[in-house]
Structure 1
Amino acid sequence: MEKTRTTADGSTVVLRTLELVDLEQIHRLECELFPVDAWPIEMFLAEVQHPTRHYIVLEQEHQIIGYAGVMTVADTADVQTLAVCSSARGRGYGRWLLETLHEQALARGAERIMLEVRADNPIAQNLYLAQGYTPVHRRERYYNDGVDALIMMKNLENVESLQEEKHHDQ
Protein backbone atom coordinates (compact mmCIF):
# COMPACT_ATOMS: atom_id res chain seq x y z
CA MET A 1 0.00 0.00 0.00
CA GLU A 2 1.35 3.39 -0.95
CA LYS A 3 -0.39 6.74 -1.41
CA THR A 4 1.19 10.11 -2.16
CA ARG A 5 0.32 13.77 -1.82
CA THR A 6 2.17 16.80 -3.10
CA THR A 7 2.51 19.62 -0.59
CA ALA A 8 2.23 23.35 -1.28
CA ASP A 9 6.03 23.62 -1.51
CA GLY A 10 6.17 20.86 -4.12
CA SER A 11 7.56 18.10 -1.91
CA THR A 12 5.92 14.70 -1.73
CA VAL A 13 4.46 13.01 1.33
CA VAL A 14 4.14 9.25 1.09
CA LEU A 15 1.74 7.20 3.18
CA ARG A 16 2.87 3.58 3.23
CA THR A 17 2.93 0.41 5.28
CA LEU A 18 5.46 0.52 8.11
CA GLU A 19 8.62 -1.52 7.61
CA LEU A 20 10.91 -2.87 10.32
CA VAL A 21 13.67 -0.45 9.27
CA ASP A 22 11.32 2.42 10.30
CA LEU A 23 11.22 1.45 13.96
CA GLU A 24 14.19 3.54 15.12
CA GLN A 25 12.78 6.71 13.54
CA ILE A 26 9.31 5.97 14.88
CA HIS A 27 10.64 5.34 18.36
CA ARG A 28 12.55 8.64 18.37
CA LEU A 29 9.38 10.45 17.30
CA GLU A 30 7.33 8.56 19.89
CA CYS A 31 9.70 9.62 22.69
CA GLU A 32 9.58 13.24 21.49
CA LEU A 33 5.79 13.39 21.21
CA PHE A 34 4.80 11.22 24.18
CA PRO A 35 7.63 11.55 26.72
CA VAL A 36 5.50 10.31 29.63
CA ASP A 37 3.83 7.41 27.82
CA ALA A 38 6.29 6.48 25.04
CA TRP A 39 6.15 2.86 23.98
CA PRO A 40 9.43 0.96 24.29
CA ILE A 41 10.87 -0.04 20.92
CA GLU A 42 10.27 -3.70 21.84
CA MET A 43 6.55 -2.98 22.08
CA PHE A 44 6.55 -1.49 18.58
CA LEU A 45 8.38 -4.55 17.31
CA ALA A 46 5.81 -6.89 18.87
CA GLU A 47 2.94 -4.75 17.55
CA VAL A 48 4.07 -4.54 13.94
CA GLN A 49 4.66 -8.28 13.76
CA HIS A 50 1.27 -9.23 15.20
CA PRO A 51 -1.23 -10.57 12.63
CA THR A 52 -4.17 -8.52 13.98
CA ARG A 53 -2.26 -5.22 13.61
CA HIS A 54 -1.61 -2.93 10.67
CA TYR A 55 0.82 0.02 10.94
CA ILE A 56 1.41 2.85 8.50
CA VAL A 57 3.83 5.76 8.25
CA LEU A 58 3.91 9.18 6.64
CA GLU A 59 7.27 9.98 5.11
CA GLN A 60 8.57 13.23 3.65
CA GLU A 61 12.06 13.38 2.17
CA HIS A 62 13.08 10.13 3.90
CA GLN A 63 11.93 11.39 7.31
CA ILE A 64 8.96 9.86 9.08
CA ILE A 65 6.58 12.66 10.05
CA GLY A 66 3.71 10.52 11.30
CA TYR A 67 2.58 7.00 12.04
CA ALA A 68 -0.51 5.10 13.09
CA GLY A 69 -1.66 1.59 13.84
CA VAL A 70 -4.87 -0.35 14.15
CA MET A 71 -5.76 -3.69 15.72
CA THR A 72 -8.70 -5.59 14.27
CA VAL A 73 -10.27 -8.57 16.03
CA ALA A 74 -13.56 -9.91 14.71
CA ASP A 75 -15.92 -6.99 14.08
CA THR A 76 -14.12 -4.42 16.25
CA ALA A 77 -11.01 -2.39 15.52
CA ASP A 78 -8.99 -0.28 17.91
CA VAL A 79 -6.66 2.57 17.03
CA GLN A 80 -3.45 1.59 18.80
CA THR A 81 -1.59 4.82 18.12
CA LEU A 82 -1.68 7.89 15.89
CA ALA A 83 0.96 10.62 15.85
CA VAL A 84 2.11 13.47 13.63
CA CYS A 85 5.29 15.42 14.35
CA SER A 86 4.79 18.95 15.64
CA SER A 87 6.14 20.65 12.51
CA ALA A 88 3.66 18.80 10.24
CA ARG A 89 0.48 19.37 12.24
CA GLY A 90 -2.48 21.30 10.87
CA ARG A 91 -2.06 19.95 7.32
CA GLY A 92 -4.62 17.15 7.40
CA TYR A 93 -2.09 14.38 7.96
CA GLY A 94 -3.78 13.10 11.12
CA ARG A 95 -7.06 12.85 9.24
CA TRP A 96 -5.32 11.05 6.35
CA LEU A 97 -3.77 8.52 8.74
CA LEU A 98 -7.09 7.99 10.52
CA GLU A 99 -9.05 7.53 7.29
CA THR A 100 -6.47 4.96 6.16
CA LEU A 101 -6.88 3.09 9.45
CA HIS A 102 -10.64 3.06 8.82
CA GLU A 103 -10.05 1.54 5.37
CA GLN A 104 -7.74 -1.11 6.82
CA ALA A 105 -10.20 -1.96 9.60
CA LEU A 106 -13.04 -2.34 7.08
CA ALA A 107 -10.89 -4.54 4.85
CA ARG A 108 -10.29 -6.78 7.88
CA GLY A 109 -14.01 -7.07 8.66
CA ALA A 110 -14.49 -4.44 11.37
CA GLU A 111 -17.90 -2.84 11.84
CA ARG A 112 -16.81 -0.36 14.50
CA ILE A 113 -13.57 1.26 15.62
CA MET A 114 -12.57 2.50 19.05
CA LEU A 115 -9.74 4.52 20.55
CA GLU A 116 -8.45 6.11 23.73
CA VAL A 117 -7.50 9.78 23.76
CA ARG A 118 -6.09 11.88 26.55
CA ALA A 119 -8.77 13.91 28.28
CA ASP A 120 -6.39 16.89 28.20
CA ASN A 121 -5.86 16.77 24.40
CA PRO A 122 -8.68 18.79 22.79
CA ILE A 123 -6.93 18.94 19.40
CA ALA A 124 -6.96 15.15 19.04
CA GLN A 125 -10.48 14.93 20.46
CA ASN A 126 -11.69 17.44 17.86
CA LEU A 127 -10.09 15.40 15.06
CA TYR A 128 -11.92 12.29 16.23
CA LEU A 129 -15.23 14.11 16.72
CA ALA A 130 -14.95 15.57 13.21
CA GLN A 131 -14.41 12.03 11.87
CA GLY A 132 -17.63 10.79 13.50
CA TYR A 133 -16.37 9.35 16.78
CA THR A 134 -18.48 9.74 19.89
CA PRO A 135 -17.30 9.49 23.51
CA VAL A 136 -18.59 6.31 25.16
CA HIS A 137 -16.61 6.02 28.40
CA ARG A 138 -13.94 7.63 30.56
CA ARG A 139 -11.06 5.69 32.14
CA GLU A 140 -9.81 7.51 35.19
CA ARG A 141 -6.04 7.94 35.60
CA TYR A 142 -5.36 5.80 32.50
CA TYR A 143 -2.11 7.48 31.50
CA ASN A 144 1.16 7.29 33.45
CA ASP A 145 0.87 10.90 34.61
CA GLY A 146 -2.65 10.36 35.99
CA VAL A 147 -4.61 11.92 33.12
CA ASP A 148 -7.93 10.29 32.23
CA ALA A 149 -8.59 8.65 28.87
CA LEU A 150 -11.74 9.25 26.88
CA ILE A 151 -12.90 6.13 25.05
CA MET A 152 -14.43 7.02 21.70
CA MET A 153 -16.18 4.86 19.11
CA LYS A 154 -17.21 5.17 15.47
CA ASN A 155 -19.51 2.95 13.45
CA LEU A 156 -17.74 2.01 10.22
CA GLU A 157 -20.91 1.32 8.20
CA ASN A 158 -21.00 4.94 7.06
CA VAL A 159 -17.37 4.79 5.95
CA GLU A 160 -18.08 1.69 3.86
CA SER A 161 -21.09 3.25 2.12
CA LEU A 162 -19.08 6.39 1.34
CA GLN A 163 -16.30 4.28 -0.15
CA GLU A 164 -18.82 2.39 -2.28
CA GLU A 165 -20.30 5.68 -3.54
CA LYS A 166 -16.82 6.98 -4.35
CA HIS A 167 -15.95 3.78 -6.24
CA HIS A 168 -19.26 3.82 -8.11
CA ASP A 169 -18.71 7.45 -9.23
CA GLN A 170 -15.29 6.68 -10.74
Structure 2
Amino acid sequence: MRLETVTFENDAWSRAMMLGDLSQGYCHYLVAFRPGDDDAAELSGYAGLMSARGASDADIQTIAVAPDARRQGLGRLMMEALIAEAVSRGARRLFLEVRADNPGAQTLYDDLGFAPIGVRRGYYQPDDVDAVVMRLDLPAGGAA
Protein backbone atom coordinates (compact mmCIF):
# COMPACT_ATOMS: atom_id res chain seq x y z
CA MET A 1 0.00 0.00 0.00
CA ARG A 2 2.97 2.30 0.57
CA LEU A 3 3.97 2.06 -3.10
CA GLU A 4 0.32 2.48 -4.14
CA THR A 5 -0.07 5.74 -2.24
CA VAL A 6 3.34 7.10 -3.25
CA THR A 7 2.63 6.35 -6.91
CA PHE A 8 -1.00 7.37 -7.20
CA GLU A 9 -1.38 9.91 -4.36
CA ASN A 10 -4.94 11.27 -4.67
CA ASP A 11 -6.46 8.40 -6.65
CA ALA A 12 -4.75 5.45 -4.95
CA TRP A 13 -6.79 2.31 -4.43
CA SER A 14 -7.92 1.64 -0.88
CA ARG A 15 -6.61 -1.38 1.02
CA ALA A 16 -10.04 -3.02 0.59
CA MET A 17 -9.98 -2.48 -3.17
CA MET A 18 -6.49 -3.92 -3.44
CA LEU A 19 -7.34 -6.96 -1.30
CA GLY A 20 -10.51 -7.50 -3.29
CA ASP A 21 -8.59 -7.59 -6.56
CA LEU A 22 -5.85 -9.81 -5.17
CA SER A 23 -8.40 -12.33 -3.92
CA GLN A 24 -9.99 -12.89 -7.33
CA GLY A 25 -8.98 -16.07 -9.11
CA TYR A 26 -9.16 -14.35 -12.48
CA CYS A 27 -6.64 -11.68 -11.46
CA HIS A 28 -2.91 -12.20 -11.91
CA TYR A 29 -0.42 -9.97 -10.09
CA LEU A 30 3.33 -9.57 -10.40
CA VAL A 31 5.62 -8.05 -7.80
CA ALA A 32 9.20 -6.94 -8.28
CA PHE A 33 11.83 -6.54 -5.60
CA ARG A 34 15.20 -4.85 -5.66
CA PRO A 35 18.01 -7.22 -6.61
CA GLY A 36 19.69 -8.57 -3.49
CA ASP A 37 16.82 -7.53 -1.18
CA ASP A 38 16.79 -10.74 0.86
CA ASP A 39 14.04 -9.68 3.24
CA ALA A 40 11.87 -8.26 0.40
CA ALA A 41 10.82 -5.35 2.60
CA GLU A 42 10.41 -2.84 -0.23
CA LEU A 43 8.71 -3.43 -3.56
CA SER A 44 10.26 -2.01 -6.70
CA GLY A 45 6.99 -2.48 -8.53
CA TYR A 46 3.79 -4.40 -9.05
CA ALA A 47 1.31 -4.91 -11.86
CA GLY A 48 -2.07 -6.58 -12.14
CA LEU A 49 -4.11 -8.21 -14.87
CA MET A 50 -7.79 -9.15 -14.84
CA SER A 51 -8.28 -12.00 -17.29
CA ALA A 52 -10.64 -14.92 -16.86
CA ARG A 53 -9.34 -17.99 -18.68
CA GLY A 54 -10.97 -18.26 -22.09
CA ALA A 55 -12.47 -14.76 -22.05
CA SER A 56 -11.72 -12.70 -25.14
CA ASP A 57 -11.08 -9.45 -23.22
CA ALA A 58 -8.56 -8.74 -20.47
CA ASP A 59 -7.70 -5.59 -18.57
CA ILE A 60 -4.51 -4.20 -17.08
CA GLN A 61 -5.73 -3.30 -13.61
CA THR A 62 -2.73 -1.38 -12.35
CA ILE A 63 1.00 -0.94 -12.64
CA ALA A 64 3.30 0.93 -10.30
CA VAL A 65 7.07 1.36 -10.22
CA ALA A 66 8.89 2.84 -7.22
CA PRO A 67 10.43 6.26 -7.92
CA ASP A 68 13.99 4.95 -7.52
CA ALA A 69 13.33 2.06 -9.94
CA ARG A 70 11.84 4.13 -12.79
CA ARG A 71 13.43 4.54 -16.21
CA GLN A 72 15.24 1.19 -15.92
CA GLY A 73 12.86 -1.00 -17.93
CA LEU A 74 10.90 -2.53 -15.04
CA GLY A 75 7.55 -1.15 -16.19
CA ARG A 76 8.10 -2.53 -19.69
CA LEU A 77 9.18 -5.91 -18.30
CA MET A 78 6.06 -6.20 -16.13
CA MET A 79 3.81 -5.08 -19.00
CA GLU A 80 5.37 -7.66 -21.33
CA ALA A 81 4.81 -10.36 -18.70
CA LEU A 82 1.16 -9.35 -18.28
CA ILE A 83 0.64 -9.32 -22.04
CA ALA A 84 2.08 -12.83 -22.26
CA GLU A 85 -0.16 -13.96 -19.40
CA ALA A 86 -3.25 -12.52 -21.11
CA VAL A 87 -2.34 -14.38 -24.30
CA SER A 88 -1.78 -17.63 -22.38
CA ARG A 89 -5.27 -17.25 -20.86
CA GLY A 90 -6.80 -16.94 -24.33
CA ALA A 91 -7.50 -13.20 -24.41
CA ARG A 92 -7.75 -11.57 -27.82
CA ARG A 93 -7.89 -7.93 -26.66
CA LEU A 94 -6.16 -6.21 -23.77
CA PHE A 95 -7.40 -2.88 -22.41
CA LEU A 96 -6.07 -0.28 -19.98
CA GLU A 97 -6.76 3.24 -18.82
CA VAL A 98 -3.98 5.76 -18.41
CA ARG A 99 -4.08 9.28 -17.05
CA ALA A 100 -4.22 11.84 -19.83
CA ASP A 101 -1.53 13.80 -17.97
CA ASN A 102 0.94 10.89 -17.94
CA PRO A 103 2.77 11.06 -21.29
CA GLY A 104 5.57 8.74 -20.13
CA ALA A 105 3.17 5.87 -19.51
CA GLN A 106 1.30 6.61 -22.73
CA THR A 107 4.57 6.40 -24.67
CA LEU A 108 5.39 3.03 -23.09
CA TYR A 109 1.95 1.64 -23.93
CA ASP A 110 2.19 2.99 -27.47
CA ASP A 111 5.62 1.34 -27.85
CA LEU A 112 4.06 -1.95 -26.73
CA GLY A 113 1.42 -1.69 -29.45
CA PHE A 114 -1.54 -0.27 -27.52
CA ALA A 115 -3.69 2.21 -29.43
CA PRO A 116 -5.95 4.89 -27.94
CA ILE A 117 -9.62 4.11 -28.53
CA GLY A 118 -11.43 6.63 -26.35
CA VAL A 119 -11.44 8.99 -23.41
CA ARG A 120 -13.24 8.71 -20.07
CA ARG A 121 -13.82 12.28 -18.93
CA GLY A 122 -12.97 13.00 -15.29
CA TYR A 123 -12.18 9.32 -14.62
CA TYR A 124 -9.44 9.98 -12.08
CA GLN A 125 -10.89 11.61 -8.99
CA PRO A 126 -10.57 13.81 -7.05
CA ASP A 127 -8.18 15.39 -9.57
CA ASP A 128 -10.81 15.32 -12.37
CA VAL A 129 -8.25 14.02 -14.87
CA ASP A 130 -9.38 12.21 -18.01
CA ALA A 131 -8.40 8.61 -18.73
CA VAL A 132 -7.22 7.60 -22.17
CA VAL A 133 -8.56 4.12 -22.92
CA MET A 134 -6.12 2.00 -24.91
CA ARG A 135 -6.41 -1.41 -26.55
CA LEU A 136 -3.92 -4.00 -27.74
CA ASP A 137 -5.07 -6.71 -30.15
CA LEU A 138 -3.41 -9.96 -29.12
CA PRO A 139 -2.26 -12.83 -31.31
CA ALA A 140 -4.49 -15.89 -31.54
CA GLY A 141 -3.43 -19.33 -30.42
CA GLY A 142 -1.55 -18.46 -27.24
CA ALA A 143 1.62 -17.22 -28.97
CA ALA A 144 2.89 -14.00 -27.39
Q: Distance in 2 between matches of 1:159 and 1:95?
A: 23
User: SS of the residue aligned with 2:51?
Assistant: strand
Q: Distance in 2 between matches of 1:135 and 1:102?
A: 17
Equivalent residue for 2:57, pick from 36, 51, 76: 76
State the shift of 1:158 in Å. Answer: 7.8
Match of 1:151 in 2: 133
State the shift of 1:109 in Å. Answer: 1.2
State the shift of 1:157 in Å. Answer: 0.8
1:108 pairs with 2:82: no
Equivalent residue for 1:134, pick from 91, 111, 115: 115
Q: Distance in 2 between matches of 1:39 and 1:147?
A: 16
Structure 1 residue runs of 5 or longer lacking an equivalent are: 1-26, 164-170
Query: For residues 34 and 49 of structure 1, do their structure 2 counterparts lie closer, same or farther at Cα, with a shift above 3 Å needed?
Result: same
Q: CA RMSD in A?
A: 1.5
Question: What's the % identity of the aligned pairs?
Answer: 43
Query: For residues 92 and 158 of structure 1, do their structure 2 counterparts lie closer, same or farther at Cα, with a shift above 3 Å needed?
Result: farther
Match of 1:96 in 2: 77
User: SS of the residue aligned with 1:120?
Assistant: coil
Give the AA of the match of 2:129.
Answer: V
Question: Looking at CA atoms only, which structure, 1 or 2, has the larger radius of gyration?
Answer: 1
Structure 2 residue runs of 5 or longer lacking an equivalent are: none
Superposition TM-score, scaled by structure 1 size = 0.77
Runs of 4+ in 1 over 2 A off after TM superposition: 158-161
Give the AA of the match of 1:46.
Answer: G
Match of 1:36 in 2: 10
Give the AA of the match of 1:51.
Answer: G
1:53-106 CA distance string (max 9 Å, x none): 111100111221100000014111100000101111111000000011011111
Match of 2:46 in 1: 67
Match of 1:53 in 2: 27
Give the AA of the match of 1:67.
Answer: Y
Give the AA of the match of 1:101.
Answer: L
State the shift of 1:160 in Å. Answer: 5.0
Q: Distance in 2 between matches of 1:159 and 1:48?
A: 27
Structure with greater contact order relative to length (CA < 8 Å, sep ≥ 6): 2
User: SS of the residue aligned with 1:34?
Assistant: helix
Q: Distance in 1 between matches of 2:108 and 2:70?
A: 12
